[in-house]
Amino acid sequence: MKTPALLWSALIGAVASARSMTPMATLSAARLLGRSTPGSLALLDRPLFKFGALAMGAGELAGDKMKTAPDRTVFLGLLARVASAGIAGAALAPRGREPAGAATAIATAVPLAYLTLDARKRAMRHVGQTRSGLVEDLLVVAVGIAVVALAVRHGNGRSR
């Protein structure tokens, strides 16, 4: 069965809707493990970018549990989702389809940010901010890792 061309871009956009830095962190981890992405994106090969993305991903996971953490739908939160989803969506798109992959990921991430925020707020009322955040982290990071791993495998990601 053939995978739809922009499926991985859409799925990484869904990941960005809940955790803006997870797409970049998972892509960076894949690059550090010597895997390449279907789409060509030189930015992912810069060490400062790779390690910076990993640090920002870890920082976001910690910061999300703080009482002062802003909603993901504030302007800067959406801007981070647009940037991260766009870069990740382009990297996971088939070679030559990077702009379409970026657009697909962004078009998925922004509206889903509102839905994932609503789900998180409902979960917070039942189990609290920290517990709901940890569960969301586990789900989002696991999905992010799976999406990147599958995209790299199906896109014939080569070792670098």
For each of the chain's 160 residues, which pLDDT tens digit applies?
A: 567 889 999 999 999 999 999 999 999 999 889 888 888 777 777 888 888 999 999 988 888 777 787 889 999 999 999 999 999 999 999 999 999 999 999 999 999 999 999 999 999 999 998 899 999 999 999 999 999 999 998 765 443 3
Task: Evaluate the CA torsion angle 156, 83, 115, 107 in order and state its sign.
Answer: negative
Q: What is the pTM (predicted TM-score) of this model?
A: 0.89
Helix, strand or coil for residue 159? strand
In the chain, count H helices and then E strands: 6, 0
